[in-house]
A = this chain, B = another copy of it.
């Protein structure tokens, strides 16, 4: 993967060169080590982040410590939209992460002044909403096996340039389990079942999606 930075990943196709320059100018490049917290739920949101490299776990906490992993952000994603006085979710680096940091107020103002930028944000929010609805359907209605296959397919689809069958899962089993709303033990057993049925083949952090028929979800592309 070439080392593109966030503004390019996010807005290269839709912003004109002046807007792109402005966006680059607003961004500060920052790095995070594996596991490091990027955003803390409840804190005042003075800045927001756009992901350049790596994977970020985005989750929401309950008062008693239980938490749910909402999504795994990939390069080109905003970790969180620049709305709201405070962060309403937490984010941690999975492996090494590079990101562009923006002052929330500055980014917000830039969005207000640039139609292209606002359109981009709307597109991003719309797409996130669609994905989150798909996940909700999965969470609410599917068996663990269906959930896991749906997750693997969705993850493959989001990975850059990977028409292949083998996908890499950099996040921990625990995180996947917390994403799918099941206990880690259940996830392990579900992986086992899918492998036993020869639907997938597990090779450490990589999984070969042997014969999962593709495509689901609406308005792809």
A residues near B, CB below 8 A? 41-42, 60, 62, 66-68, 70, 81, 83-89, 112, 115, 118-119, 121-123, 125-126, 128-130, 132-137, 139-142, 178, 180-181, 217-219
Contacts of A133 in B (CB 8 A): 60, 70, 88-89, 132
Of B68, B121, B141, which contacts A67 at CB under 8 A? B141
Are B130 and A88 in contact, CB atoms less than 8 angstroms apart?
Answer: yes
Are A219 and B128 in contact, CB atoms less than 8 angstroms apart?
Answer: no
| Given A60-B136, A62-B137, A62-B142, 8 other A-B residues pairs in contact with their CB atoms under 8 A | A66-B141, A68-B136, A70-B137, A81-B126, A84-B130, A88-B130, A125-B129, A136-B139
With a 10 A CB-CB cut-off, give which of A66, A115, A141 has the most chain B CB atoms.
Answer: A141
| Complexed CA–CA distance, A137 and B88 (Å) | 12
Contacts of A181 in B (CB 8 A): 139-141
> How many copies, total?
2
Are B41 and A218 in contact, CB atoms less than 8 angstroms apart?
Answer: yes
Contacts of A139 in B (CB 8 A): 136, 139-140, 181
| Complexed CA–CA distance, A123 and B118 (Å) | 11
| Complexed CA–CA distance, A70 and B123 (Å) | 20
Of B84, B118, B135, which contacts A136 at CB under 8 A? B135
Contacts of A141 in B (CB 8 A): 62, 66-68, 181
| Complexed CA–CA distance, A213 and B128 (Å) | 31
Contacts of A178 in B (CB 8 A): 140
